[in-house]
Chains A and B, each alone.
Chain A
Amino acid sequence: METQNIYLPYLMQIDKVSEDAPFVKTFRLKFINPEDEANFSFQTGQFGEYSVAGVGESTFCIASSPTRKGYIECTFRKAGRVTTALSDLEEGNTIGFRGPYGNVFPIDEWKGKNLLFIAGGIALPPMRSVIWNCLDLRENFKDITILYGAKSVADLVYKHELREWDERPDVKLVTTVDPGGETHDWTGEVGFVPTILDKMAPKAENTIAIVCGPPIMIKYTFPILEKCGFADEMVYTTLENRMKCGFGKCGRCNVGKTYVCKDGPVFSLKQLKQMPDEY
């Protein structure tokens, strides 16, 4: 569709719905208009505005990898008004999508390096895009380690993909649940993500760490990475601030003079340390 209206979303059909954890769903979305699909491209780390007509828009990242063509995926937790409305939709429904917005994970710069992915809770989705992106270009990277934790076994998202990663010889997966969140047959770790990370004592040499999770987890994870010798420019994270437009106009998401929607959502720890505590 030819438009100059930056607010007009693409129409997307919900092609597949999966329920990944309590209140957490993943939609596979396909472009209704083939021209839109042809013109569309994105890179890992970017986000969009998903909308339900009559309800409104909500911001979250694209959870699929740009290497998988023909669709995009998004994962959201039913929380606010829009995510609640999204949750009620089924396969075949049409929703709106604007995007992609924001910067990207610099995976080209990561060539030849080890990758350490650290994710907590519902923050695996932004990570999933970059994980699959890197796995689809597996030969570009050395060791790939994924540490993923959630409150309980039930809260772990993408369980089938976790199994798939676990079975791959070229990926080391560590899963953990918070103390008390384990089931009797749980074989993974028990403990908070930073604690398990400490125990893993990852090597910092030639390694990029990518951290996504709730603010509290991130806050306790950075010092451990520092302790292991990770330099600030070797650590990446994504920020989530409230946004409405996605393109630097609505005035919500800025952290000091940094616009999360344009300069982010991907930041290195080095950048983050220069930003005020406004996120």
Chain B
Amino acid sequence: MNNLQQKAQQLLESGNYGLIVGYEKGTSGKARPVFIRKAEHASKLIFDESCDQNIAVYLYRQEIKHDKKKVIVANHHTLKSIVELAAENQVFDGDFMVLAFAENGDIIELNTFKEIEKHVATLYHGLTEAEAAMMKKIEDMSLEDRWAFWENEFSKCIKCYACRASCPMCYCPTCTVEINQPQWISVPSHTLGNLEWHVMRAMHLAGRCVTCGQCGKACPLELPIQLLTYKVALDSKQFFDSVAGTSICADNALAIYKPEDHENFIR
């Protein structure tokens, strides 16, 4: 048993905790989310590089939302999402404990939002090299090429909403695409309707996207859909100095007005 499994076993045996949300080995050795309720199942837990899925969505899942004896094993994506969800009052202090990892692999217990926020401050917040290269590739494109690039991508989207369902920040019970009075966005998945929806989604995630890339990883058609929300995330940082997932006090760019903002249309 490794230290995570031991820790989980202890927590469950203590009776103070009843559920551990973490990762296990799935099909073909792929990591996947797991829900451990019994100490004897703690040995299923894993934590390695394959565990890069953001699993913060489960924290506000109806079935376990109000279970205060839960623990979540969090990678850095999940941690940042927790901070952002805390800022938006979607999760509550004391409702769960977080098990994070120090660089040397030691387990860090984080019990309060303050502690999580402090820990997150020690993490890297930028894009990975590969992601940054993809962003640059697109930004360097001519307007026509960029349009063609996205047109091709959106032609593939089947509107399965896997991207939305896996994004911890997409927690609205009724998404704009489902609001039909009035109908803002086409429901069928054609290129134009897909574009409308994804652009809208990106705008709704402005200053809220923690650049975890989960939406892109979830897409069965492999659309690099995260690049859209990354772009707004980068703009939020550049123009408003707002980086999602770093502060438990809400200040995301499009939801807050500050007197020193230079746009004056709102006055």
Contact = CB atoms under 8 A, between A and B. Distances in A.
A177 to B, nearest CB: 30
A81 B180 CA distance: 7
Contacts of A84: 181
Mostly helix, strand, loop or mixed at chain B's interface? strand
B183 interface: yes
A224 to B, nearest CB: 34
Nearest to B181: A81
Interface in A20-50: none
A229 B58 CA distance: 50
Interface string B180-192: 1101000000000
Interface in A81-117: 81, 84
Contacts of A80: 180-181
Interface residues of A, number: 3
Nearest to A82: B180
A80 B181 CA distance: 8
Contacts of B181: 80-81, 84
Nearest to A85: B181
Nearest to A84: B181
B168 to A, nearest CB: 29
A80 B180 CA distance: 9
Nearest to B187: A56
Contacts of B183: 81
B25 to A, nearest CB: 33
Interface string B148-188: 00000000000000000000000000000000110100000
B242 to A, nearest CB: 36
Contacts of B180: 80-81
A9 to B, nearest CB: 19
A84 B183 CA distance: 13
B160 to A, nearest CB: 16
A230 B211 CA distance: 63
Nearest to A55: B183
Nearest to B180: A81
A81 B183 CA distance: 9
A270 B108 CA distance: 59
Interface in B79-116: none
A115 B103 CA distance: 78
Nearest to A56: B180
Interface in A213-272: none
A84 B181 CA distance: 9
A19 B181 CA distance: 23
B10 to A, nearest CB: 41
B198 to A, nearest CB: 23
Nearest to A81: B180
A76 to B, nearest CB: 15
Contacts of A81: 180-181, 183
A79 to B, nearest CB: 10
A250 to B, nearest CB: 14
Nearest to B179: A81
A81 B182 CA distance: 8
Interface in B176-235: 180-181, 183
A237 B18 CA distance: 45
Nearest to A54: B183
B179 to A, nearest CB: 10
B183 to A, nearest CB: 7
A59 B135 CA distance: 47
B175 to A, nearest CB: 16
A2 B175 CA distance: 40
A84 B180 CA distance: 11
Interface string B22-36: 000000000000000
B132 to A, nearest CB: 43
Nearest to B183: A81
B69 to A, nearest CB: 30
A144 B181 CA distance: 42
A36 B181 CA distance: 32
B200 to A, nearest CB: 19
B141 to A, nearest CB: 37
Interface of A: 80-81, 84
Shortest 4 CB-CB contacts between residues of A and residues of B? A81-B180, A81-B181, A84-B181, A81-B183
6 contacts: A80-B180, A80-B181, A81-B180, A81-B181, A81-B183, A84-B181
